[in-house]
A and B are shown apart, each in its own frame.
Chain A
């Protein structure tokens, strides 16, 4: 399995900044960060910090959810899995969101597989506690429902994008959505995971990445991707990136303002 390292070169972080980063805390997740004090008081003592390893499967479709996850600096990909094992990404969830919305929408199990797409940390909460909090019809319910609407837009846009846009455009959208969800602009990925996300063959990803390199938007060699020109990457991406981002900004202004 070859590794692709995705680094944004125009934002070089001095090493010392890495060293003085505060320890992980729940507030790195924006949904948790904007909760009112009472909600924080009830939920935060029960949050458990968990490492998220690249490629780790948080849950499979149809399995009862034991926890919901609030990514801090990790990114989780929601994949729809076909009977023959083929999969396609339907949404990405990072520090702006929560993994496990099926739980409070009454599904108990989820229709998708959740896979760690970028390693880091997350905070998880036992399922019954989230359901109880959701049942209070307060700030948590309000936020999670709005988040669900934003996710719904992302899923619809992904579906139409998969149908009509080139792998190259989809790759741009995907890189941008991922970069937005990172705290330090470093993403380590496998080509195989990217192919699974986009529902295409690995060769397709290699070819698309090659084209972006020729255009000078990224540098791509031996599995290492460096984003050289984000503004042009945005131009190259289909409209789908902007549609999703605009809708998240509109529906969740406090969360997206970061």
Chain B
């Protein structure tokens, strides 16, 4: 298949040249990562074109292992003469550093062998090659709440010079949302993006791998002003590796509705409450866990999960997998940045920490078995503690083995499990009352201790129904305690995201207002 804007044979030769050059200068090991990315964007402001950009990047990253020393270097000057000077300087710079016995290439047997043309995971959409500037504009405008009758007059790349005969104010008056609502639309910003990323990795041990993927997304944010002069914003987005899966229609309307829903927020009394976190925001609570599972953090004593491998730390209902090899899904990859083959793995199994993310260097430093350098596509399995009717049978998905690598026969993606209605609404209904968190506003988690404090926005709900938006609320606690209070995990992770984290519910979370 011909990849539009893909890596050329000449560029692959440039990568090989770097390996050969480094070897000839005395490097005992070398790895080159060649990346090529093209991104096109059409941005609208109030339904009219605001910005059109075309970005095309390519770069070479060189990892050198010389005399037990290690350095990393990059350049986007890829002519052979320039590369020779680059590699020579890199070799000299590496020799200045201190020896480190643990810096080495991964064992060749751990590296992926089947990433030949970059298309194995089906992440490149051939439809990308056919996108025209006109289509980009049409797709951007399809999501707008402003009238789009004259889209064709405004398409960059067309041979027409018809100027759009409107103004922002006129367009705002004509917006489909015009009604007697107690607010006015301040602005609508929409953005269409499509991109291709082509990556080629080669090392001096003979490894070669390629990974190619396309990405398509639409994003919109609508800001309104209420009658009292206060402003509120709502956003919406869609994303996929497949063009056909990104339909922008209705996105801005959804963003507008989210903005309107935030009007007239009220303070809620502080205390311990049930918290439901919307699937658009729930990754924020998984991120500290994955950071703490990094061997680099553990080696530096900068992880609250140090010493937890094989121990039950979290709720027995909490299951987190890394489904790295799911065809067609964003985040999937056959090899990591070292070339090491990925696998579908259990990360947390019934609350037990089953793996750390250990690259070759950290394996040497810590004595841990090397695994993979980082998570690819984390997936939280759905469950509910409220009733057996919604509780999934995990057994089909949990390997009864110590390897923690999910065998192919059991490589079931929770996406596809048939679990009755574990939507956000169902979870809220099961929880009864609490706070629905729809966004985080600042905050942090102390990776060393697991203590966190986040600003949150969202809604008070009762009997599963939203009562009113809340304002100026903060949640505090500790990550270990939080994930021990897990009540439910939905079956609604956003399509098109690398992290498949659904709506989550926790009990007895400390809210301050």
A binds B: no
Interface residues, chain B, CB within 8 Å of chain A? none
Interface residues, chain A, CB within 8 Å of chain B? none
